[in-house]
Chains A and B, each alone.
Chain A
Amino acid sequence: MRTLIKIAIYGKGGIGKSTTASNLSMALSEMGYRVMQVGCDPKADSTGALCGGQKITTVLDAIREKGNGVTLDDIVTIGDGNVVCIEAGGPTPGVGCAGRGIITAFEKMEQLGAFEKYQPDVVIYDVLGDVVCGGFAMPIRGGYARNVFVVTSGEKMALYAAGNIAIAVDNFKARGYARLRGVILNCRNVEDELCKARKLADDIESKIISVLPRDGVVQQAEALGKTVVAAFPESDMANHYRALARSVLEECEE
C-alpha cells in the first residue's frame, strides 16, 4: 500500500501554479498514481486544464445551492487521467470571507469522506498567492499537506512572494505543519533568472527542484482546455513536467 503523499503548491498570483499543478497531476497519473487536485483559490480555476477548460461546481457553490444535502457527486469532477478534481471556491468577489470559505470547504470534504472514497495516492492543494490568514494556512496544517513547493519566476515580485511564503511555512515549523521541500522555477525569461532563483533558494535554505522553461506549447494546451501532458504528450515541455513529477516524489519520499 502506498503512503498518501500530500502536497501544497504556493506562489505569487499568476505565476503558473495551477498550470504547474495540473500538469503535475497529469504526469503523476501517467505514472500510475491516483491523484486528487484541490483548488484552494476563490477564483476556482485550478482544475480547468484537467476538465476540458470548464469551470467545475465548487464546494461552496454546492453548499449555497444544496445546503446540507451536498454529496460528493456534487463537488467532485473526474478530469483527464482520472484525476479527482475539487475546487473549494469562495465568496462573491468583494464580500464574504475567502479564508473561512477554505475552512468550510475542507470541513465539507472531510465530512463527506472524500479521501476515504477516492483513496488518492497523491493529493495536490493548489493554493492562492500567499498565506494571508488562518484559512489559507489550512492546506499546510496537520492532516492536510505535508510538503510545500513554491512556484516562482525570476521576477522581483514573484521572488518576494516566494520568500514570504517560505517564512510563513518556517514560522509554523514548530507546530508540525508542512515542510518546504523546494522551489519550482517557472521561467519567464528574465535576465539571470536561474541565478536569482538560486539566490532565493539559498536565502530560504531550500533548493530548486525543477526548472520549467518558457514554452508556447503551454498556452496552446491552455487554449485547448488541456494540460500539456495530455495535449502534447511528446513535447519537451511534457517531459519537463514528467521530470518535475519525479523530483516532487523524490523530495516527498525524503
Chain B
Amino acid sequence: MISDASGGLPRYCHPYHGGWDVARIALDIPESRILFICPISCARIICLNAIKYDYKDRVDVLALTEDDIVSGAYEQKTIDAACEVLDHLNPKPKALILYVSCIDAMLGNDHSFQTQEIMDRYPEVNCLVLKMCPITRYSGDLPLVALQHDMYQALPMETVPKEKTVAFIGTNIAPHPESDLVRVLESAGYRALHIQASDDYRDYLAVRGASLNLCMMPFGKSACALLQQRYGTPFMPYFAKYDLAAIRETITKLCDTLTIPLPDLDAMERETVSILKKTAAEIGNTELIIDSIATLFPNELRKTLEDCGFKVRRIYGDSVNINAPDIDAGSVRMPVERSYGAGENVIAIGMVSSSFEGAQKTIDVFYDNGEWGHYGLRKLAERILDACRDPKSSQDVRKEAVK
C-alpha cells in the first residue's frame, strides 16, 4: 500500500506494521470522525482494521447498494447518514470526514454541495471528503499523496498570524521528542507541530500559522505546496537521514532557514559514531539485513552502518539495485527473489526482511519510526542490542502486536 515503486503490482498494508491504512491516516486530524460510504465488502475491511487498531469508536459506515447507485439516491443518502451520525453524537466531532470509495468516482457526486449541506446543519463541524480510490493511482497524485493533500485542503481558507511553530507534513509518525529535529527546534523556542501527536483540533487549525513546514516524506509534497500557496508557508524536505554528512547538511539548512543557532554537530557525530562502533563490536559477526519498509533510505543506512563496522548482508528494496548495483539486494515484492533463509546469525531491520529471511532477531521498525538522524542511529544501536538480548521472529512480533 505504501510504496510508489510497486510497478503496477498490488501492495498491501502489512497488518503487523502499525496498520497505517487510509482511515487511520485520515484520523490524524484530531477530534475527527469518519463516515465511510462504500459497498459492504469494503466496509468489512475498514471495520476489521478499526477494531484491530483501536479506532472503531471514530468510524461509521454507510453501506451502499446497487439501488442507491443507479437511482441517484446515493448523494442524498450520504447527507442523511452524516446528519444521522452527527445527531447522535454529543459532543460533536470537530471534523467529519466523508470517506468515499471508487464508486463515487464514477458517479460524479457534488462533494461541495454535500459538505455544505451538512455544515449548514452543523456549523460547528468541518465536513470534508477524502477518497479511497485506487483506480486514480496512475492518473494523478498517488492515493497517499492525494490523501495528505486533501486532509489539509479542508483547512479554513483564512490565513492566521504566523507563530513560532514548525509543522511536520506527510508522515504518520511524529519525530520523537528526543530526536535531533525536535530538540533543535525546541531549544530555539519553536513548537514542533504534528497533528498525529495531538488530540486537539486546534493543532490542526494551527498548521495555517506555522512559520515553516517540513515535508517529512515524499507523500507530503503536494500538501506542502498547497499550504505554501494558501498561507504563504515555506517548506523544505526533511526526509529521514542516516548519512552523517547528509544529517549535518539537513540540520544546517533547517537552522539557516529559521535563523536559529546550530547545535554542536561535531560532538553529536562523535557520540553517534562511538555508539555505533561499540555496538558493532558487541554483535561481532552477526549480520544485518535491512528493508525499504523499515526505512525509506535503506542504502544510506547500510553505508553508515558499514562505515562503523557492521556487516550488512542484504537489502530488500525495489529501487536498491538501481541506486547501488554493487550490493546484494532483493525485491520486497517479488516472491521469486525471496531467499527464505534459515535466518540464523542475522538481525533483520524491518518486518519484511525478517519474514523473507526467517530471521530470529527482528527489529520492528516502520518507515523510520520517526527516529532518524543522530537520535535514530543511536536508537537503532539500542534496538540491535535488544534484538540480540531478546530474539524475536517476525511471527513473534506479529503475535505481540495483535495482543
Contacts and interface: CB of A to CB of B under 8 A. Distances in A.
B136 to A, nearest CB: 9
Contacts of A111: 140
Contacts of B109: 134
> What is the interface of chain A mostly: helix, strand, loop, or mixed?
helix
B229 interface: no
A104 interface: yes
Interface residues of B, number: 12
Interface in B115-147: 138-140
A141 interface: yes
Interface stretch (B100-108, B175-183, B252-260): B100-108
B139 A133 contact: no
B112 interface: yes
B55 interface: no
A103 B109 CA distance: 10
B110 interface: yes
A108 B141 CA distance: 12
A135 B108 contact: yes
Contacts of A104: 139
A141 B139 contact: no
Interface string A130-166: 0001110110011000000000000000000000000
A99 interface: yes
A99 B112 contact: no
A134 B108 contact: yes
B138 A97 contact: no
Contacts of B340: none
B108 A68 contact: no
Interface in B74-115: 105-110, 112-113
A104 B110 CA distance: 14
B110 A97 contact: no
Contacts of A102: 108
Given A100-B106, A133-B107, A67 B139 contact: yes
Nearest to B75: A134
A175 interface: yes
Contacts of A97: 106
A99 B110 contact: no
Given A142-B112, A175-B113, A68 B107 contact: no
Most buried by A among B72, B107, B138: B107
Contacts of A142: 112
A246 B112 CA distance: 33
A143 B112 CA distance: 11
Contacts of B139: 63, 67-68, 104, 108
B108 A99 contact: yes
Most buried by A among B105, B109, B110, B112: B110
A174 to B, nearest CB: 9
A107 interface: yes
A67 B138 CA distance: 7
B112 A137 contact: no
21 contacts: A68-B138, A68-B140, A99-B107, A99-B108, A100-B105, A100-B106, A103-B105, A103-B108, A104-B139, A108-B139, A111-B140, A133-B108, A134-B72, A134-B107, A134-B108, A134-B109, A137-B108, A137-B110, A138-B108, A142-B112, A175-B113
Interface of A: 63, 67-68, 97, 99-100, 102-104, 107-108, 111, 133-135, 137-138, 141-142, 175
Closest 8 CB pairs of A and B: A134-B108, A135-B108, A175-B113, A134-B107, A100-B106, A103-B108, A97-B106, A99-B108
Interface of B: 72, 105-110, 112-113, 138-140
Given A63-B139, A99-B107, 8 more contacts: A68-B138, A68-B140, A97-B106, A99-B108, A103-B105, A111-B140, A134-B107, A142-B112
